Amino acid sequence: MWSARPVAPGIFPLDRELGLSGSAFSPYVVEAMARLGTEMPFERVPEILSFFTQVGIGEETARAVTERAGAVLQEIEEAEVVEFERGQRPEVVGAEVQQVSADGAMVHLVDEGWAEVKTLAIGKVEHTLGGDVHAREVSYFSRLDTAEAFRRLAEVELCRRGTFTAQTVCAVVDGAEWLQKFVDWHVPKAVRILDFPHAAEHVNKAAQAVFGPGTVEASEWLGKWLHELRHGAPDQVLVALRDLPMGGSMDPAAAAQTRDEVVAYLEKRRDQIAYATFVAAGYPIGSGMVESANKLVVEARLKGSGMHWARPSVNPMLALRTAACSGRWEQAWPRIWQQLCSQKRKCRRAPAVSPLMDAVSPSSSPPSQPPRPERLSAIQLEKKGLIQNGRPTQDHPWKSGLRHRDHQKAH
């Protein structure tokens, strides 16, 4: 019986044309694993995937596939930033009026405790029939990184949404310095608006310090002056804050200090609290869009009960979350898959395959190969005693291949 020499696994030309990766799983199953891992805890993915595809996997496979896909998308987006910095930024036409808001949410890291994930939300400002202002077509960008790194990387989403060409950009943020620097860097001409609930919180802080927490006097004073802040003149509110009576406070010195801090905070942002003017122009005055983003993008997946994340796993997940929550999965996945296939082909040529790529490839490594036989003519083979009467002897390389195969079967 004759047997062909064992060969290593590879990609047939038609496989490459059809977009197959030489994986143990079909492209659809790989995408399904990544999408499910993006939406739910990894321990739930095997059950749901099996229900819909009849494919059995383990939790660690789901984790590895999802995180690898996220890491690829993260690499793609960071490469785009480098291209932008080289002057290759595409010109995308933005909405006539656009809202940009950013904020942070906390996630728990293994051995590090709580850390802040920063999220950017961008929406098209529209008006309802009742005249209310809402942000529509909202998209997101999130990263666990420093303020400076986040500011740089967020250019991907700002460019994608055409923020740099929008006619009017409303930057509705709280008073954090990193957010002001973010606006300075990307949209210095934006209409800056201090989030109204954030301003109201500061006014409330002064009232509670002077009148006492939960008192009728504090409630009545707040009702009057928050209405003025929302619909009237902010300067009148600043005057009312300065005139708060200290005599009835339980601790006049502490109350005065709190009042002065609130006044200084709002005075520094005087142009950002002209809410009546903003509303008359049809601009949003609340950053609820990004607060909802924190819940939708970050907390819904990364802040479940008992969840602790390794730092390197957070940004790949955030990359996938922002693609899915922004309604861009169908656009993002082909790029991810193309990169995965490209990396898989490179790994085949390399001496070792990375563990993450093993997750989207057959789990068993290819069998070790016998040395490729030297190519000799029939006369040379006969002289070497490798052929006798036209048939291979026991020393012929073909026989060596058969012995290698039999040895593998025995083990």
pTM: 0.78
| CB contact at 8 A, 78 and 273 | no
Closest CA to 94 of 159, 141, 153: 159
Let me know how many helices (H) and strands (E) the chain has, helices first.
Answer: 19, 7
**H or E segment at 121?**
strand 113-127
Q: Is 237 exposed, middle or buried (0-12, 13-18, 19+ CB in 10 A)?
A: buried
Please spell the DSSP secondary structure of 230-285, one letter per residue: HHS-HHHHHHHHHT---TT-SSHHHHHHHHHHHHHHHHHTGGGG-HHHHHHTT---
CB atoms near residue 406 (< 10 Å): 10
At residue 98, the 3 state secondary structure works out as: strand
Q: Please name the residues in contact with 72: beta carbons below 8 A apart, sequence gap of 6 or more.
A: 336, 339, 340, 343
What contacts 133, CB < 8 A, 6 or more positions away?
125, 126, 127, 279, 282, 283, 284
15 by Cβ neighbours in 10 Å (0-12 / 13-18 / 19+) ranks as middle
Distance CA(212)–CA(70), nearest Å, equals 50
**DSSP summary character for residue 112:** T
| Angstrom distance (rounded) from CA 396 to CA 391 | 9
- Residues 320 and 323: their CA atoms lie apart, in Å, by 5
What is the predicted pLDDT for the residue at 15? 46
| Spatial separation of the C-alpha atoms in residues 31 and 29, rounded to whole Å | 5
How much is the pLDDT for 372? 42
Cβ–Cβ < 8 Å for 96, 167: yes
CA–CA gap between residue 34 and residue 14 (Å, rounded): 25
Task: Give the tokens for residue 403.
Answer: 């012995």
The pLDDT value given to residue 399: 60
Instruction: Single out the residue of 205, 231, 232, 229 nearest to residue 218, CA to CA.
Output: 205
- 27-39 and 59-85 helices, crossing angle to 10°: 90
Buried/exposed code over 354-374 (b: 16+ C-beta within 10 A; e: otherwise):
eebbbbbbeeeeeeeeeeeee
User: In this structure, what token pair is assigned to residue 364?
Assistant: 């068993």
- pLDDT (tens, 9 = 90+) of the chain, 411 residues, equals 556 555 555 544 544 444 444 557 889 999 999 999 999 999 999 999 999 999 999 999 999 999 999 999 999 999 999 998 888 888 888 889 999 999 999 999 999 999 999 999 999 999 877 778 889 999 999 999 999 999 999 999 999 999 999 999 999 999 899 999 999 999 999 999 999 999 999 999 999 999 999 899 999 999 999 999 999 999 999 999 999 998 778 889 999 999 999 999 999 999 999 999 999 999 999 999 999 999 999 999 999 888 999 999 999 999 999 999 999 999 999 999 999 988 776 665 555 444 444 455 433 333 344 444 444 555 565 666 766 655 667 776 656 544 544 444 444
* Residues 304 and 41: beta-carbon distance below 8 Å: yes
- Mind listing the domains of the chain with CATH numbers? 13-88+328-358 (no CATH), 97-195+286-295 (3.30.420), 197-272 (no CATH), 378-410 (no CATH)
Q: Is 318 helix (H, G, I), strand (E, B) or coil?
A: helix
> Shortest CA distance to 100 belongs to which of 185, 192, 167?
192
Q: What is the pLDDT of residue 223?
A: 95
Residue 95 is predicted with a pLDDT of 87
Three-state DSSP class for 104?
strand
Residue-level pLDDT at 268: 94
- Longest Cα separation, the chain: 120
